[in-house]
A and B are shown apart, each in its own frame.
Chain A
């Protein structure tokens, strides 16, 4: 904690109750995903096997959030759903961020021709509404969690290209870049050792917020039946399945829906808090 307290911005972060709520929500979601095997009450219910004696049970002492139509514990499935959602978010961001950042750096640093070509390329992707682009890519693939990740990744990199492009354009004017150019540094050195480190805080902040939004888009895809397939515990498809049994089995749709809300909101609040703290410490 001593180290944390010395970090610039931590005090500003700590003063904002919203950021702390975000941190707590994110901690809950991440811990559920990491330790799902330990904390889930009925780990076997993550698959297709349930407790046939307790089918479609409302929330009770044994099954805190109730059970689904084949007697699987809803809490267990939500915890494993968080694991899948976070895996998807991490994979998507790990693929898209480097691609977008490199394109943004090159377009921002090189002359107007490059920036025109590369930025029009991002325009093409950004001119299709995100969910529609992901859906249309799924149109050519078999629905599955892996393909869902690919579809979401295909639409995500332009945002990082845009962000890095704008940051690079601003950094390019700074004296340190001119100094590096004057002593004859090569382009890779200037891009990755000089400019990139100064863009990283903004990129990391965006990544934090985006974990939430990747979860949101991925769950939207699977809600439409275009993502992970049964019996994989996926929050979006759990809501879709549960919605068929409303209003009698209201818990089936409501709790997975709230679980998505908690995860997305947590990463949103945390990201906002990080940005404000970074601004305050500057």
Chain B
């Protein structure tokens, strides 16, 4: 019986049996927050385990081969490395709960300060790429599905596959070669022209800060600089989203309610943009959330091609310097951001999909 497969604790679908006290939005939010907390504890344990399981003494690795034995002992004591593993983990979590990510041995500053400095540049890049994915990928998929079998559809499908199959750094190198060197439409690297003073750091996002201070030339210059790296970052997501939107729309087009809309004589554009689009959006949103993980990872590649002063340069440097606290801190921040974004996506799915009103959110 199918009912047997539903894990205990999940109410069977149907309006009569669900408790209708809580809004589905709130229910999903609580459910996802609890699951994310479990996952986040798991991530902290995983990173802790990786840092301890790897052969070699973390204190020795951190200080390098030239440190004296006394220095190594001192650091070992300071980081509680001379105590049993559970105690070490407990100390580490206690520091985390206070918002302390430890100190970077590479920059000699608290990891939190380092991340706060480099993160806005990376987020600016990721947000711009995310906007490109949503506002290019989804429309291409919708139009491709509406004109399926047409030559334009085939071109879009081939282009999508090429986009998906190309690592972000390859796009970075190709776009930089063509649109910055051979045909200098865009700057080669950096976030802002060197002669322009950066806008005062209010949010750390150059685009927002220039708007807040009414600095038009800085805004234009920022957008001019971010366009090419953001496109390199976005292309894989654009291809993926276009493919998925198309597949999802094509499936919806087979449904009886679309046939009925045709029978009513509604215009094609209305059928595509209203009746087929909304249900087709549900799987696309979920994948967009997962795509964000790819954006966070690929940002490292694109930043290194375009000399973008974000978390990547820092991340690669601390990895090459075996800076344990900084590595763990960076990964924890990225994982948290990824989880939060996915909770937001799940809430959006609830808003878009009225059927979830009758069933509790999945685990």
Identify the A interface with B (CB < 8 A). 18, 112, 115-116, 119-121, 123-133, 135-141, 169, 172-173, 212, 216, 219-220, 223-226, 236, 239-240, 242-243, 246-247, 250, 253-254, 257-258, 260-261, 264-265, 268-269, 272
Residue from B54, B182, B335 in contact with A128 in the complex, judged by beta carbons closer than 8 Å: B335
Other A-B pairs beyond A116-B7, A139-B327, 20, CB < 8 Å: A127-B335, A129-B297, A129-B338, A130-B293, A131-B298, A132-B331, A139-B324, A140-B327, A223-B167, A224-B300, A225-B316, A236-B169, A239-B170, A243-B173, A254-B174, A260-B170, A261-B162, A265-B165, A265-B166, A268-B161
Q: Are B301 and A246 in contact (CB under 8 A)?
A: no
Does residue B42 face the partner (Cβ distance < 8 Å to A)? yes
B327 neighbours in A (Cβ, 8 Å): 136, 139-140
A135 neighbours in B (Cβ, 8 Å): 297, 300, 315-316, 319
Closest CB in chain A relative to B39 CB, distance in Å: 5
Which of B44-52, B75-83, B260-268 sits within the interface? B44-52
Per DSSP, are chain B's interface residues mostly helix, strand or loop, or mixed? Answer: helix
Q: Are B334 and A129 in contact (CB under 8 A)?
A: yes
22 A–B contact pairs at CB < 8 A? A112-B8, A119-B363, A120-B42, A123-B38, A124-B43, A129-B338, A130-B293, A130-B297, A136-B331, A140-B51, A173-B5, A216-B167, A220-B301, A223-B301, A239-B169, A240-B169, A247-B181, A250-B177, A253-B173, A254-B174, A261-B165, A261-B170
Q: Are B42 and A124 in contact (CB under 8 A)?
A: yes
Which 10 A-B pairs have CB atoms at the shortest separation, nearest pair first?
A: A131-B297, A247-B181, A124-B42, A265-B165, A129-B297, A129-B293, A112-B7, A140-B54, A139-B319, A264-B165
Q: Are B297 and A132 in contact (CB under 8 A)?
A: yes
Residue from B297, B301, B318 in contact with A139 in the complex, judged by beta carbons closer than 8 Å: B318
Closest CB in chain B relative to A159 CB, distance in Å: 11
State whether A224 and B304 are in contact (beta carbons under 8 Å apart), knowing that A120-B42, A139-B319 are contacts in the complex.
Answer: yes
Identify the B interface with A (CB < 8 A). 2, 5, 7-8, 35-36, 38-40, 42-43, 45-47, 50-51, 54, 61, 157-158, 161-162, 164-170, 173-174, 176-177, 181-182, 293-294, 296-298, 300-301, 304-305, 315-316, 318-320, 322-324, 327-328, 330-331, 334-335, 338-339, 363
Q: Are A265 and B161 in contact (CB under 8 A)?
A: yes
State whether A219 and B297 are in contact (beta carbons under 8 Å apart), knowing that A124-B42, A124-B46, A127-B43 are contacts in the complex.
Answer: no
Closest CB in chain A relative to B48 CB, distance in Å: 12
State whether A257 and B170 are in contact (beta carbons under 8 Å apart), knowing that A112-B8, A127-B43, A173-B2 are contacts in the complex.
Answer: yes
Closest CB in chain B relative to A247 CB, distance in Å: 3
Taking CB as reference atom, which chain B residue is nearest A242?
B173
Closest CB in chain B relative to A214 CB, distance in Å: 12
A242 to B166, CA, bound (A): 17
A225 neighbours in B (Cβ, 8 Å): 316, 320
A242 neighbours in B (Cβ, 8 Å): 173
Closest CB in chain B relative to A211 CB, distance in Å: 12
Closest CB in chain A relative to B248 CB, distance in Å: 16
Closest CB in chain A relative to B55 CB, distance in Å: 9
Closest CB in chain B relative to A188 CB, distance in Å: 22
Q: Are B315 and A124 in contact (CB under 8 A)?
A: no
A264 to B39, CA, bound (A): 31
Q: Are B300 and A120 in contact (CB under 8 A)?
A: no
Q: Are A265 and B162 in contact (CB under 8 A)?
A: yes
A136 to B335, CA, bound (A): 12
State whether A226 and B319 are in contact (beta carbons under 8 Å apart), knowing that A121-B42, A136-B50, A260-B170 are contacts in the complex.
Answer: yes
A136 neighbours in B (Cβ, 8 Å): 47, 50, 319, 327-328, 330-331
B43 neighbours in A (Cβ, 8 Å): 124, 127-128
A126 to B54, CA, bound (A): 21
Closest CB in chain A relative to B104 CB, distance in Å: 13
A131 neighbours in B (Cβ, 8 Å): 294, 297-298, 300-301
Taking CB as reference atom, which chain A residue is nearest B321?
A139
Instruction: Output the residue of A136, A169, A216, A239 with the most chain B CB within 10 A.
Output: A136
A212 to B182, CA, bound (A): 30
Taking CB as reference atom, which chain B residue is nearest A108?
B5
Residue from B39, B173, B319 in contact with A239 in the complex, judged by beta carbons closer than 8 Å: B173
A112 to B294, CA, bound (A): 30
Taking CB as reference atom, which chain A residue is nearest B162?
A265
A272 neighbours in B (Cβ, 8 Å): 161
Q: Are A264 and B167 in contact (CB under 8 A)?
A: yes
Closest CB in chain A relative to B310 CB, distance in Å: 13
State whether A127 and B162 are in contact (beta carbons under 8 Å apart), knowing that A115-B7, A260-B170 are contacts in the complex.
Answer: no
Q: Are A268 and B164 in contact (CB under 8 A)?
A: yes
